[in-house]
Amino acid sequence: MTLREAEQQPHRISERDRAVDDQRVMTLRQWCEVNGFSWWTGQRLIKAGHGPKILQLSPRRVGITVRANREWQQARERA
């Protein structure tokens, strides 16, 4: 299969790929960028307990998994 043929095929995400992506960890800055707000707003959301579940990666560093972000976004949807 050539590169052109591979690009023309519909993109299918396997369950394994989705599971790996769900476990990927974003930094706080990346999370804020993905959701379209400033770092300061992200900090306020986390401190107030209104953000997604966070992972303590080290004493001074936190991260948010792609899955936690998606679940947080779904919980915030309005009907």
pLDDT 10s digits, 5-63? 656 666 666 666 666 688 899 999 999 999 999 999 999 999 999 999 999 999 999 99
Q: How far apart are CA 7 and CA 30, in angstroms?
A: 28
Q: What predicted TM-score, i.e. pTM, was given to this entire model? A: 0.71
Which pLDDT score is estimated for 21?
A: 82
Q: How far apart are CA 75 and CA 63, in angstroms?
A: 19
Whether the per-residue pLDDT at 72 is higher than 80: the answer is yes
Q: How far apart are CA 33 and CA 38, in angstroms?
A: 7
Contacts of 49-58 with CB under 8 Å at 24 or more apart are 55/25, 57/25
Bridge partner list, 61: 58
Whether the per-residue pLDDT at 73 is higher than 80: the answer is yes
